[in-house]
Amino acid sequence: MTILNLSAAGELTISAEFLKRLGLKPGDAVSLEDMAGELVLRKVKIASCDAPALAQTTACPACRDDQEAEREQLADAIARKNLDTTMQFVKGVGPKLSELLAKRGVVRVEDALYFLPHRYEDRRELRPIMSLRPGLCEVFSGVVRSAEMVSTKGGRRFFEAVVADDSASVVLKWFNCNPTFMKRVWKVGKTALLTGEVSQFGSQREVHHPDVEWLEQGQNARDLLTADPVNFGRIVPVYPLTEGLSQKIMRKVMREVVERFVPYVRELIPDTLLEQLQLHGLRQSLQNIHLPPATEKLDELNEGRTAAHRSIAFDEFFFWELGLALKKRGVTLEEGISFQVKHRYTKPLAKLLPFELTGAQRRVLAEIKIDMMSPHPMHRLVQGDVGSGKTLVALMAALIAVENEYQVAIMAPTEILAEQHWHTIHRWCTELGVATVLITAGMKGREKAESMARVADGTARIVIGTHAVIQDKVKFARLGLGIIDEQHRFGVLQRGILKKKGKGINPDILVMTATPIPRTLAMTLFGDLSLSVIDELPPGRTPVETTIVFESHRARVYARIRDEVRKGRQAYLVYPLVEESEKSDLKAAAMMAEHLGRDVFPDLRIGLLHGRMTPQEKEDVMGSFKAGELDVLVSTTVIEVGIDVPNATVMVIEHAERFGLSQLHQLRGRVGRGAARSHCILLTAGRLTEDGEKRLRVMESTGDGFRIAEADLEIRGPGDFLGTRQSGMPDFRVANILRDGALLEQARQVAFGLLDRDPELQSKENIPLRSELLRRWGQRLELAAIG
């Protein structure tokens, strides 16, 4: 028997038992109607069910479960319908205001609930002007004593007013205002209630661009405060705005949204869990963030450290990590290739190497071998600092796949890096008798077609390339392993596309990055991957001494280069551009190579390397430098990764302040590859921004790639650190992986623990979690299979 039935006409038929549970009685007016976008129960029609039938239904456990499920579905439908209400239909909004809100990304009610204040002001106290505190936002009232346009000696014009109460006076200033409007509004003798941040200049206190409320004749300021509880008498939220929107309007709208729609927010994370973590439910958290209670501390609100902020951040992290946990579990359940380690190629390669593998390389290789031998697909991330030997580890893994008659695809983010991988791997594989091929977007028609044909017929065993490798036209005969280098430059989708190239076989996936990724970021981006870290540099490497040198001491830099060349060493000089542009004062590589060869080092052998050269030209120059036929290599950032010349001991980076920390660290990694002491010189004009100076000081203070990555993340934030759109970084609305790193770890433990207990999220209490997960992240994480 059905307890609930929704007819096409929108009439809800409810059984007597369910009516009772809703706290209603027959005759109460209830039905399901869409009232201006809000789903409301209005009229009722009692289902025709007699007492024995109802008793029978209640006694049946299966029926009870069905009834519970139906109730859940109805509650969820009502909640979703209301939260999806467009802002136009919220009381007090309408079409024009909704257009302005849409410019800030607030289209639906749910968007508004998660559109958080970016700061707060304490407006609980009305203070005498004498007691105004510099540096704080204060509320005060006063009578206008003067108001006029003022000009400075430099010709800058602004509007200035002086207001006073019985205790003192204060100066108000507006810059870039409409003089006609200001003169019309600001009349001597009027009384205003004012709010703004107080500044102190000598003995004079000023407030710039205050909020103003005019008092009627005889009206008391305290009465106005009491009459407007939205904007005064409490800690008030301050929202990001767009032109045409005021804080007053925004607060009124948000108050309406919170009071009317927060009750429809579903509480999906169990109360017991929230209590353990000392967090609140979503409803209370959203309420407290938009309408802070008197008990909240202003500094914690402004820093996003309240229990409400942490609770919403945890909610976001939890569902993301739950998705990653499901994705990881899905991979472990898939049927993969169980590779056999035959040592047909790996042992001969080890004998070809002029050095021993490090302990870290051997440990990571062992982890990879265990994954590859299992019957499920490998999904592993290998992190390692510059020069830790990731390419060799990747080649060893590739040769295991080749020994088992499978093909390998190695994908790099740039043509230069793909070419460098190909040269390194091709050289070793030629000696082993393993066929390799390079495929990049820049290859010409016939050459590319021949390479693709070798991939399709299986004669090419190791395929190296850029994103061109995952294009539809590239068909693999038998892909068994995909290796993705510099993963942070690729999105999650590219990983998935490469996997689908297996044609019915689930290939193993090995992800590598030479850019150390801070732990919080790794958990967020690659939480579905197993993690290996190559945390040991090959023996014989010496730490690189890094110094910041200003343009005025350029002669010292040249002297250092000449001194090293005299000892039989070599040097790099790296520039940001290839050729001088009219709009930029950056020193260009081509021009400087000519200048250095003619005016500075006429007796030295100088080479030039940049991205516009053909692959053969680049190979010739790099070959000459490696063979010791060049003393100095002038280059753009094409040498950022992959070049290994142990004899090079000096790296000079021109305009070092223009480079990111990760790039600087990669460039520095080109030296210090031999036993001789190496130097990295960060040459700068000296006009440094705050962030620019921070970057250079970090480089000077540490050579640890993981510490550098943490500092880079702090300076730039997650989006810039990765290039958000390409990175697969989730768009968290509240959570911040820098501020909330500890919460992220907790959310991950809870999510993975939950899946251990209920692997398919099939239990009654977890089905709503599964539905919400699919709604939020199903498409992004490709979780359709769990729906």
Cα(107)–Cα(104) distance, rounded to whole angstroms? 8
Among 42-46, 214-218, 277-281, 484-488, the minimum mean pLDDT is found in 42-46
Could you tell me the pLDDT band of residue 561, with boundaries at 50, 70 and 90? very high
Among 31-40, 191-200, 726-735, 764-773, the minimum mean pLDDT is found in 31-40
Radius of gyration of the chain (CA): 33
Q: Which residue has the higher pLDDT, 201 or 42?
A: 201
Whole-number pLDDT of residue 10? 45
Distances (CA, A) of 581 to 495, 612, 688: 38, 15, 21
Contacts of 396 (CB under 8 A, 6+ apart): 346, 349, 365, 368
Cα–chain center distance at 590: 36
Contacts of 467 (CB under 8 A, 6+ apart): 411, 413, 441, 490, 494
Q: Which residue has the higher pLDDT, 399 or 740?
A: 399
Cα(362)–Cα(393) distance, rounded to whole angstroms? 8
128 has pLDDT over 60: yes
Whole-number pLDDT of residue 658? 85
649 has pLDDT over 60: yes
Q: What is the pTM of this model?
A: 0.68
The burial class, CB within 10 Å (0-12 / 13-18 / 19+), for 23 is exposed
Residue range 185-207: mean pLDDT, rounded? 92
Q: Which residue has the higher pLDDT, 11 or 241?
A: 241
Cα(116)–Cα(140) distance, rounded to whole angstroms? 27
Distances (CA, A) of 118 to 239, 301, 302, 592: 6, 9, 7, 47
Tokens of 20: 């009772």
Whole-number pLDDT of residue 51? 33
Among 361-365, 522-526, 590-594, 645-649, the minimum mean pLDDT is found in 522-526
The 10 Å CB-count burial string (b at 16+, else e) for 235-270 is bbbebeeeeebebebbbbbbbbbbeebbebbbebbe
Tokens 């003022």 locate to 150
Backbone phi, psi, residue 294, to 5°:
-60, -20
Show the DSSP H helices in 38-134 as ranges: 51-59, 61-83, 94-103, 109-113
Among 6-20, 142-156, 546-560, 687-701, the minimum mean pLDDT is found in 6-20
Whole-number pLDDT of residue 243? 86
487 has pLDDT over 60: no
Could you tell me the pLDDT band of residue 647, with boundaries at 50, 70 and 90? very high
The burial class, CB within 10 Å (0-12 / 13-18 / 19+), for 341 is middle
Cα(191)–Cα(186) distance, rounded to whole angstroms? 10
Among 13-17, 93-97, 468-472, 565-569, the minimum mean pLDDT is found in 13-17
Could you tell me the pLDDT band of residue 369, with boundaries at 50, 70 and 90? very high
Residue range 713-730: mean pLDDT, rounded? 61
Number of alpha carbons in the 13 Å side-chain half-sphere of residue 328 = 21
383 has pLDDT over 90: no
Q: Which residue has the higher pLDDT, 674 or 598?
A: 598
Could you tell me the pLDDT band of residue 516, with boundaries at 50, 70 and 90? confident
Nearest Cα neighbor of 563 from 643, 649, 633 is: 649
Q: Is 343 left (phi over 0), alpha (psi -120 to 50) or beta?
A: left
Residue range 562-586: mean pLDDT, rounded? 77
481 has pLDDT over 90: yes
Please check whether residue 361 is in contact with residue 537, taking contact to mean a CB–CB distance below 8 angstroms.
no
Whole-number pLDDT of residue 22? 55
Cα(156)–Cα(177) distance, rounded to whole angstroms? 12
Render pLDDT for 51-66 as a digit per residue (tens, 0 to 9).
333 333 344 555 566 6
Residue range 482-496: mean pLDDT, rounded? 66
Beta strands in 154-190 (DSSP E): 157-164, 169-175
Whole-number pLDDT of residue 16? 60
Nearest Cα neighbor of 508 from 534, 487, 488, 484 is: 484
Q: Which residue has the higher pLDDT, 404 or 538?
A: 404
Strands 648-653 and 678-684: parallel
Backbone phi, psi, residue 384, to 5°:
-160, 150
Give the rounded percent of residues in the chain with a pLDDT score beyond 70: 85
The 10 Å CB-count burial string (b at 16+, else e) for 418-449 is bbbbbbbbbebbeeeebbbbbbbeebeeeebe
Torsion of CA 17, 23, 26, 31, to 10 degrees: -100
Backbone phi, psi, residue 215, to 5°:
-90, 140
